Structures are given as C-alpha cells and as structure tokens.
C-alpha cells in the first residue's frame, strides 16, 4: 500500500497482520477525489477512527491536512501507525505546523469521552464490517454530541454494502452514499437549515 497523491505521494505504508481490512486504492482514490472537490482537506484537523494502517489519515495529511489524530485499539496496528508517522515527520515534505499522533484506544471509548481543543474538520470511520449498525449509530451520536465535531465537520463512514444503512444523529444528515464493490461509503454532515 502506498500514499496515492500529494506531498507524500508514493510513500509505502506498512500493512499490519491479516485481519485488518485496508481501504482499497480504488475506494481511497474515490473518497479523496470527493473530499478534494469539496475543498475540506486544506489545513484540516483530521480524526481517523479504527485507523488500521493509518492509510486514510496519512492520505489526508498528504493532500493538505495539517493535523491527524489516529485512533486504533489493536496494539500491533497502533505501533505500525506510529512507525509510519515517525517516517512522515522525517520526510522533507513534512512542514512546520503539521502534527500527527496515534492513540491506542477503542474508537467508541474515544468518541464518548475525548475532548478536543477545536472540532475536527474531517472524521474517517472505517470499522470492521462485523461492527454492528447500532454500535455505529451510537458512535455517530457520541461524536455529534461532543466538541469533536463542528458546523462544518464532514464524517466519512465505510460499511459493507450488506450492512444496514446507518442513522445520522439528530441535526445531521447523510448527504451522499457511494458504493464501490463490497464497500458503501457514507458522507454525513450537519443538516444546515
């Protein structure tokens, strides 16, 4: 796996043990093409929940985001993300003012209890396909109810196309859904009236 585009284009990403389901390059390219068209990545604060390889968060940094918080519960995967972030920080394309860190925690616990200095602009949620829809809905509700999100936050949620459609939290709406093979990608935003 590699970074597709931007300042770190071509950089190799270490893949953890079997069992992690990295987002395919085709799906990743489609997601980032969509986000780029909205202009939400420039100087963005990014939260990557169920970070796995860290590929989504690293791609966001490569395409103009300035801050990344990657949350991963599996110790081996979190360690690999930390290695990747260390390599990024040594890269000549790393700029002053950028920051990136990994937090070893369950995404649900982080969403329910973490505090933020400022809301995240983009939140990636890519749980295992076995992650229950009700748990997904609770995670979304927890994010929406806290200072982790703001009026312009975009949440990108990946699910299996066979999973039940998630329910947007109160005051939020699913603004778009795209299917890529087995993967359904939902874009969830505050419902501006």
pLDDT digits (tens, 9 = 90+) for 41-63: 999 999 999 999 899 999 999 99
Helices (H), 91-164: 107-113, 133-144
| Per-residue model confidence (pLDDT) at position 187 | 97
May I ask the CATH architecture of the domain 25-190? 3-Layer(aba) Sandwich (3.40)
Burial of 126: CB neighbours in 10 Å, binned 0-12, 13-18, 19+: buried
User: Which regions in the chain score pLDDT beneath 70?
Assistant: 15-22, 193
| Per-residue model confidence (pLDDT) at position 55 | 92
Q: What angle do CA 186, 158, 11 make, to 5 degrees?
A: 115
| Per-residue model confidence (pLDDT) at position 12 | 79
Domain coordinates in residue numbering, the chain: 25-190
């Amino acid at each position: 796996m590699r970074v597709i585009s931007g300042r770190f284009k071509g950089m190799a990403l270490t893949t953890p043990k079997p069992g992690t389901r990295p987002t395919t390059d085709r799906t990743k390219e489609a997601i980032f093409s969509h986000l780029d068209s909205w202009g939400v990545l420039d100087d963005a604060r990014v939260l990557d929940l169920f970070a796995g390889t860290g590929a989504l968060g690293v791609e966001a940094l490569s395409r103009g985001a300035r801050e990344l918080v990657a949350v991963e519960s599996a110790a081996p995967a979190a360690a690999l993300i930390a290695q990747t972030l260390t390599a990024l920080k040594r890269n000549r394309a790393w700029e002053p003012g950028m920051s990136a860190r990994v937090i070893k925690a369950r995404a649900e616990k982080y969403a329910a209890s973490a505090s933020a200095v400022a809301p995240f602009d983009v939140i990636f949620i890519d749980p295992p396909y076995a992650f229950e829809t009700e748990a997904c809905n609770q995670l979304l509700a927890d994010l929406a109810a806290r200072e982790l999100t703001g009026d312009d936050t975009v949440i990108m949620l990946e699910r299996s196309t066979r999973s039940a459609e998630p329910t947007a939290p109160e005051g939020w709406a699913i603004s778009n859904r795209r299917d890529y093979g087995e993967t359904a990608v939902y874009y969830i935003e505050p419902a501006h009236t």
